[in-house]
């Protein structure tokens, strides 16, 4: 269940090495169309992880 948060979007800093790895991944092949930005990749990855964790509970 997603609830509305009273918090505004707060920027989150990524580890530099992680950011470089994400940029490398999303700039290759078909990934560049699926993930147009680092933020988009992180959003989709986190949502997928949360769905998997909820399913396993």
Instruction: Tell me whether residue 33 is in a domain.
Output: yes
Q: Count of domains in the chain?
A: 1
Helix (H) / strand (E) element for 45: namely helix 38-56
Instruction: Tell me whether residue 52 is in a domain.
Output: yes
- pLDDT grade, residue 57 (50/70/90)? confident
What's the whole-number mean pLDDT along residues 9-31? 92
Q: Is the pTM of this model over 0.85?
A: no
Q: What domain range is 51 assigned to? A: 16-56
What's the whole-number mean pLDDT along residues 43-51? 95
Instruction: Tell me whether residue 26 is in a domain.
Output: yes
What's the whole-number mean pLDDT along residues 31-42? 93
Task: Say yes or no to pLDDT of 1 above 90.
Answer: no
32 close to 26: Cβ distance less than 8 angstroms: yes
């Amino acid at each position: 269940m997603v609830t509305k948060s009273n918090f505004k979007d707060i920027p989150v800093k990524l580890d530099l090495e992680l950011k470089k790895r994400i940029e490398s991944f999303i700039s290759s092949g078909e990934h560049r169309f699926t993930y147009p930005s680092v933020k988009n990749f992180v959003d989709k990855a986190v949502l997928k992880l949360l769905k998997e964790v909820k399913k396993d509970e």
